[in-house]
Amino acid sequence: MRVTLPSKQADGTENWVDVKEADDFLAADLFAMHRAVRITNDPTGKTSYSPAEMADDRVNAFLGAAITAWSFPGPIPAQANVAAADVIIGRAMKARDWAVLRNKVVPLMDELEGAESEAPKETGPSASSPGS
């Protein structure tokens, strides 16, 4: 899926990002996204976190696996194994670009995690009521 972004390249063409199709994701891609968001306690037991930062981390971890190509100079996050996805993306994209991309991929993330799927219907003997 190609996402067109608001910013333009030096020659006036629109910037873009290619994202994997839903069927191309592995469960490992979701596991990496889940690992990116952690709440930790300091040595005194105090917990400190930012809900907005956690949401951003979740999206950036997903984008690290999801982006297959882009119009920005330099490697895509998956090819920059030394730097974290948020660093690569943050240095490449303007804030409006990232916001557009985030809004396009969050529904995909939700779909992959089953947020929109119905509960599976039971079949077999346990699904029927006694005496039916």
Q: Is residue 126 part of a domain?
A: no
> Could you tell me the two tokens for 7?
């910013």
The structure's pTM equals: 0.74
Q: What is the domain range of residue 99?
A: 2-7+20-115
CA 111 to centroid of chain Cα atoms: 11
99 found inside a domain: yes
Q: Is 68 domain-assigned?
A: yes
Asked if residue 61 is part of any domain, the answer here is yes
User: Residue 127 falls within a domain, yes or no?
Assistant: no
pLDDT of residue 105: 93
Query: Could you tell me if residue 25 is inside a domain?
Result: yes
Q: Is residue 120 part of a domain?
A: no
Q: How much is the pLDDT for 118?
A: 55
Per-residue pLDDT of the chain (132 residues; tens, 9 = 90+): 999 999 999 999 999 999 999 889 888 888 877 877 777 777 887 877 777 888 888 888 889 889 999 999 988 988 876 568 888 999 999 999 999 999 999 999 888 888 755 555 555 555 555 554
Residue 128 lies in a domain: no
Can you spell out the DSSP letters for 57-118?
HHHHHHHHHHEEEESSSS--GGG-TTS-HHHHHHHHS-HHHHHHHHHHHHHHHHHHTTTTPP
Domain count, the chain: 1
Q: pLDDT at position 20, please?
A: 94
